[in-house]
Structure 1
């Protein structure tokens, strides 16, 4: 099968409530299926990256180099630009703003959301799916209100998370 380049694609984001984490549990949730915060569409998504912390170990008697070992993984925040989460019908989803406002207000425990990012080709076929775990709102920037444009979309949303996996390609 020849390599195909995706010349035109779109993607959707789904946020689902994370299950409560038990003390000492480190098992990732492989398919977010909790209460929905919303489904959304955005023009841009960045931050699908994992960086490994590489540790150098200087072994005694080995002068020609160092031993390198894998340390912890660091996940970049996801950055969603120019889009919206939708509620019932085509109404704007208020739950996203309420989630952020509850974090700012100090309401504890903080609700965490797992997410699914699905990339689709022009024929609506899903060609890749990323899943992230235990997302927190890190930053939100609303639109620049301008009577000429009438925009109400989210300009930028940053979501910090605890894990990222590519589950389908």
Structure 2
């Protein structure tokens, strides 16, 4: 198997990452246990041509992005919660460029990063409380954004 990374491991492990949201700082602000939603799909537009009954032209259209989903153990009193509260209660949206950075678990250096442009919170959820389980309370934040791009290393 060819070695495609600078660390000698291929593929990279997905458990060591950071989330940076400019203007939202503090202890545990970038600490998340899960990040998902790094998905892009090209849309398609069907064009029917008059007189051509064998097929429909399928042309590419604008890309569609899923929401960025961040999960972590619940933190009481944080800048992230203030940002969410401003959006939900005051209907004040302050978009931010969110960075998700995959780190090398051996050296701690950055392997690859993605920038989510003009992101803002659209959903906040707290996991159920269950007296039969000793589970950690998890908060889930969903961010909507214009587009994301993979940044050069």
Alpha-carbon deviation of 1:150? 9.8
The offset of 1:115, in angstroms, is 0.4
**66, 69, 83: which one aligns with 1:76:** 66
Q: How many residues align?
A: 142
CA shift for structure 1 position 95: 1.7
Larger strand share, 1 or 2? 1
Return the TM-score normalized by structure 1.
0.70
- RMSD of aligned alpha carbons: 2.8
Distance in 2 (alpha carbons) for counterparts of 1:8 and 1:111: 29
Tell me how far 1:8 sits from its aligned partner. Answer: 5.7
Q: 2-side partners of 1:155 and 1:102: how far apart?
A: 17
> In structure 2, what is the equivalent of residue 12 of structure 1?
18
> How far does residue 145 in structure 1 lie from its aligned partner after superposition?
6.7
Counterpart secondary structure, 2:80: helix
Gaps of 5+ in 2: 5-9
CA distance in 2 between partners of 1:8 and 1:49 (Å): 16
Report whether the alignment pairs 1:136 with 2:81. Answer: no
Greater than 3 Å deviation, 4+ residue runs? 142-146, 148-152
Structure 1 portions without partners, runs of 5+: 17-35, 86-91
Structure 2 length normalisation: TM-score?
A: 0.76
